[in-house]
Chain A
């Protein structure tokens, strides 16, 4: 499917795309980017995988990004049937207690990648069966990949 077809198809699933903050853009990226409000993410992801025309069955990258004011989770999806790629992104505005629905029930690989994002960004994935720190020890304070993380001893800022 081309990016335009994908965009049309997905927009058609929502009665009011603006209400869920559904936005598409191809600017500054080689893939089609879709952003959505975190509350509606899980449902959208579920359809993206199960719909016969989209069939995004392969989540190949799950990234957390700290944009200063808000945190963003970026999902790179690919369909192994059609080989089309799409990026789904969702911004969480609450920095203190960022929460988003887990997608590990849709793609098993998300289990570890979400733990990584939790570990390094502190994003809590709801309904995750084993949300523990992946790399750092349990008593580690702070979330090192956030931009406001300071560690005077170990960090060299150039």
Chain B
């Protein structure tokens, strides 16, 4: 027998586990290759691409109106915000000033989208740490928002309500009443969320001090959204590069400094309150006017490059359009918040237990189609 094989007999092997692509905790078709030592995680390697549709390549053959549709399918929980990012980029390129009414409605819908996304996240967060009931509570409230969306634009998930130049249709006459009803309802429900999970001792034990990310690393890894803000990194695009009607509302950026899973949880809960506050400031003051400005049927952007940042529920989404002056973009790049947030998974979970990985992943709140695009 050769020496190498003899030595191998005494070597402890690395224990690999495939977490995903079909696994309850990976929230879609994400595959994590875990190297573990008993329960302790040695290495996490994400394997992506199970739902890669090459949206960026498809965009190169589509007109600007068509690109908006594709963005629904990236981060499907923030589809309205994704749509808006492309529309804003195109409008900026055309130097098109949309009516005030459009801006206000867009912002209200943005915040509703954010609440709905956070509701789903909250439900799934509970489920990931083993409290299945929270899932149904989150979905109950999300359902009300989906109903509002359905009445407004006919779709519940992939809205496609924004078009370059404004909105596809005007809002439904019931819109204001129903949003107000939802706000009244939801204000009594967040305390319920707190009672079920936030204050629970087991939940706190599971999340406090788990998956700690410090501020320097957060910036270096490009962590944005609640993940970055939980580490004390002030990165709210709505504050720094306000778009639509965000320049006329007051809200606080949810910031925590602990950087652990619990801080990320608290940031999202606080963001729901802030979103409510933004909607309340705007809902009574939707200006009259047109719901869109006319654009050419074929939109041709002037030669150049256009970049638009927006804050989705998961972080900073960037749309980078390179135009050569034709009806199709030359190159479109979507800077997805999920990819950057996922890239730090290995950094913050190594050394923890399998249970910690699941809790951390839940608070990073990944949406796989957003990462894969």
Q: Which residues of A contact B (CB under 8 A)?
A: 27-31, 57-61, 63, 65-66, 74, 76, 80, 83, 87, 107-109, 111-113, 116, 120, 133-137, 144-145, 155-158
Contact = CB atoms under 8 A, between A and B. Distances in A.
B343 A108 contact: yes
Contacts of B306: 29-30
Given A29-B305, A65-B331, A109-B220, A157 B344 contact: no
Nearest to B224: A60
Nearest to B305: A29
B333 interface: yes
B342 interface: yes
Given A29-B304, A109-B221, A63 B331 contact: yes
Nearest to A147: B60
Contacts of B330: 65
Contact of A28 (B234, B304, B335): B304
Contacts of A116: 339
A119 B23 CA distance: 26
B56 interface: yes
B305 A28 contact: yes
Interface residues of B, number: 41
Contacts of B61: 156-158
Given A61-B318, A76-B320, A135-B48, 20 more contacts: A28-B303, A28-B304, A31-B307, A57-B219, A59-B222, A60-B224, A60-B318, A61-B333, A80-B234, A108-B220, A108-B221, A108-B222, A109-B221, A112-B343, A113-B339, A133-B49, A136-B49, A144-B54, A145-B331, A155-B57
B222 A60 contact: yes
Among A61, A113, A133, A158, the one with the most B-chain Cβ atoms within 10 Å of its Cβ is A61
A63 B342 CA distance: 18
B254 interface: no
A83 B239 CA distance: 11
Given A60-B335, A108-B217, A65 B343 contact: no
B98 interface: no
B49 A135 contact: yes
A77 B339 CA distance: 17
B322 interface: yes
A61 B307 contact: yes
Nearest to B52: A135
A29 B93 CA distance: 9
A131 B302 CA distance: 36
Nearest to B302: A28
A76 B222 contact: no
B27 interface: no
Given A28-B304, A76-B307, A156-B61, A63 B333 contact: yes
Interface of B: 48-49, 52, 54, 56-57, 61-62, 92, 217, 219-222, 224, 233-235, 240, 302-307, 309, 316, 318, 320, 322, 330-331, 333, 335, 339-340, 342-344, 347, 372
Contacts of B331: 63, 65-66, 145
The 9 nearest A-B residue pairs measured at CB? A28-B304, A109-B222, A135-B49, A112-B343, A135-B52, A61-B335, A63-B333, A108-B220, A29-B305
Contacts, number: 91
B311 to A, nearest CB: 12
Given A65-B331, A108-B347, A145 B57 contact: yes
**B interface, by DSSP: helix, strand, loop or mixed?**
mixed
B219 A58 contact: yes
A63 B333 CA distance: 7
A118 B215 CA distance: 28
A61 B339 CA distance: 11
Contacts of A135: 48-49, 52, 372
Nearest to A134: B48
A42 B240 CA distance: 28
A74 B305 CA distance: 11
B316 A60 contact: yes
B320 A63 contact: yes
Contacts of B62: 158
A111 B234 CA distance: 23
Given A28-B303, A108-B343, A137-B49, A76 B221 contact: no
9 contacts: A28-B302, A31-B307, A60-B309, A65-B330, A76-B307, A108-B221, A112-B340, A137-B49, A156-B61
A157 B61 CA distance: 6
Contacts of B48: 134-135
A116 B222 CA distance: 15
Contacts of A29: 304-307
A129 to B, nearest CB: 12
Contacts of A120: 56
